[in-house]
Amino acid sequence: MVGEDAAAAAGGGLMKWLLLLSGIALVSITAYGIYGPETDTSPKILDVCVTHSDSINHYHPWLFIEINGNAVNIPTDVGVTQECMYAIHTHSGDGKLHVEIPSSNPMKIKVSDFFTVWDKEFNENQLLDYTVDEDHEIVMTVFPTKEDYMNGTNGVISTDFGNHVFSSVDADGDGIADGDDTVVLIEYKSKEN
């Protein structure tokens, strides 16, 4: 009887160890799932369609493009199709951008998102079909307001290029996203020596 009790106790001890070990393994797997390699889960611009059943943060930055001093027309209804209206789009052909961020899908809208929706190239080395070479450069300037752009005042050269964010926050407290009325001017031009 004593021997059987000892065996049962030993068996119980082994079972406890097995349970403990499998528990550690499970915790490890779960922790890896939670704390494993970081992934970007924010929605991509082409994954979200704006619907008017959602509350929307709606504001209007501007985009102007010049190639060798000539203005490039940005078409009407970029990002507006039968199937989907993307969170950045145009209605008019005057460079006015509509940013409409659904509260169900909060997104940072960047300059690159507009070019993605437009299906055109823009990065520090290429603007539309024009590529930087030894004689040409791409210069991006951000103006705080359209009036500043018209007057050529308060422009700041930006090297963020496509990563520039049309800010959706209202840090200055005027009741509208701070990216509203800001101007991004992108120029492809001869280098100034």
Tokens 């030894």 label which residue?
134
Alpha-carbon distance 58 to 74, whole Å?
Answer: 20
Residue 33 burial (10 A CB sphere; 0-12, 13-18, 19+): exposed
Restricted to residues 163-182, the positions that interact with Ca ion (CB under 5 A) are: 170, 172, 174, 178
Provide, rounded to whole angstroms, the least separation between the CB of residue 147 and Ca ion.
16
Provide, rounded to whole angstroms, the least separation between the CB of residue 101 and Ca ion.
14
Provide, rounded to whole angstroms, the least separation between the CB of residue 19 and Ca ion.
57
H-run or E-run covering 101: strand 98-102
Contact map string, positions 120 to 159, toward Ca ion, x by CB under 5 A: ----------------------------------------
Provide, rounded to whole angstroms, the least separation between the CB of residue 177 and Ca ion.
6
Task: Name the residue nearer to Ca ion (CB basis): 116 or 182.
Answer: 182
Task: Name the residue nearer to Ca ion (CB basis): 126 or 168.
Answer: 168
Task: Name the residue nearer to Ca ion (CB basis): 135 or 174.
Answer: 174
Provide, rounded to whole angstroms, the least separation between the CB of residue 154 and Ca ion.
16
Task: Write the CB contacts of 83 (distance below 8 Å, at least 6 apart in sequence).
Answer: 49
Task: Name the residue nearer to Ca ion (CB basis): 40 or 172.
Answer: 172
**Tally of CB atoms within 10 A around 85:** 20
Residue closest to 95 by CA, chosen among 128, 61, 58, 70: 61
The site for Ca ion, by CB under 5 A, has a size of: 4
Work out whether strand 130-131 and strand 126-127 pair parallel, antiparallel, or are unpaired. antiparallel
Position closest to Ca ion via CB: 170
Task: Name the residue nearer to Ca ion (CB basis): 158 or 168.
Answer: 168
Distances (CA, A) of 51 to 27, 48, 73, 85, 181: 41, 9, 27, 8, 23
Task: Name the residue nearer to Ca ion (CB basis): 66 or 170.
Answer: 170
Residues that bind Ca ion (CB under 5 A): 170, 172, 174, 178
